[in-house]
């Protein structure tokens, strides 16, 4: 009887420890960011125009959402979209592009957040969820960029320029500890594997896989990044 009681006591104690460990283990959130597309009125006559198709960066995010859902159907996915650019492009297209963006949200059950200022994105990364409990497990950017900067409205508000961006020097605004220990980060924008990736890792401790040179957005696949071959491995 003593042995049985002792075994039961040990079993209950072990169960309590395992339950507490499960409660203490942080969840992970996937955060995808789609920057804005250019306007036709400034790009159509250039030798190499940007964004003939308005859905470049929305479609790319959708492909990643499909890949993630195929492996982790219940993954927490938060999708940021730079809204002002799609409103302005929608005026050109004579379409409600916001409604079309929302259709992707509805089809795949993701949390879609529109933003219009860089600080809104930074604030969410830092404090959008309790980062003690919900770490960022994967972060990915789709949009215009150069080697040191994500440009959310490139050639959308001002021809060949941007008024909304996140520079590599701004990465120090990210708080320590917001990323999971084994987190991934990828930037599908041009040139970001040449400088920004080093600053990202220095600021966050997370390697950023970025593009060397230009990236080409296609309708049915993602651009290639150095060191990554398109498989969701989490």
pLDDT tens digits for range 38-70:
999 999 888 888 999 999 999 999 999 999 999
Phi, psi of 31 (to 5 degrees): -120, 120
**How many angstroms separate the Cα of 207 from the Cα of each of 171, 179, 186, 187?**
13, 11, 8, 11
Maximum alpha-carbon separation in the chain: 88
pTM of the model as a whole: 0.86
Mean pLDDT of 138-167: 96
- Domain hosting residue 59, numbered range: 25-210
pLDDT tens digits for range 117-126:
999 999 999 9
- Tell me, yes or no, whether 199 lies in a domain: yes
- Give the CATH number of the domain where residue 180 resides: 3.40.50
Within 8 A by CB and 6+ apart from 87, the residues are 97, 98
d(CA 80, CA 67): 18
pLDDT band at 202 (very low <50, low <70, confident <90, very high): very high
pLDDT band at 150 (very low <50, low <70, confident <90, very high): very high
- Tell me, yes or no, whether 60 lies in a domain: yes
Instruction: State how many domains the chain has.
Output: 1
């Amino acid at each position: 009887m003593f042995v049985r009681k002792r075994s039961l006591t040990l079993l209950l104690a072990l169960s309590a420890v395992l339950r507490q460990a499960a409660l203490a283990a942080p969840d992970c959130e996937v955060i995808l960011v789609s920057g804005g597309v250019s306007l036709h009125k400034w790009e159509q006559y250039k030798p190499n125009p940007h964004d003939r198709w308005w859905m470049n960066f929305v479609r790319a995010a959708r492909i990643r959402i499909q890949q993630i859902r195929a492996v982790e159907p219940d993954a927490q996915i938060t999708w940021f979209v730079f809204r002002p650019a799609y409103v302005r492009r929608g005026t050109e297209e004579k379409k409600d592009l916001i409604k079309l963006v929302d259709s992707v949200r509805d089809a795949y059950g993701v949390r879609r957040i529109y933003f219009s200022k860089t600080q809104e994105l930074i604030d969410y990364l830092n404090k959008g969820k309790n980062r003690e409990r919900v770490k960022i497990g994967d972060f990915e950017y789709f949009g215009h960029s150069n080697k040191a900067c994500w440009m959310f409205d490139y050639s959308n508000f001002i021809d060949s320029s941007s008024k909304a961006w996140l520079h590599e020097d701004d990465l120090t605004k990210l708080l320590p500890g917001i990323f999971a220990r084994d987190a991934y980060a990828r930037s599908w924008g041009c040139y970001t594997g040449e400088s920004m990736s080093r600053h990202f890792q220095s600021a966050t401790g997370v390697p950023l896989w970025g593009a060397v040179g230009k990236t080409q957005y296609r309708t049915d696949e993602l651009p290639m990044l150095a060191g990554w071959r398109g498989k969701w491995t989490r």
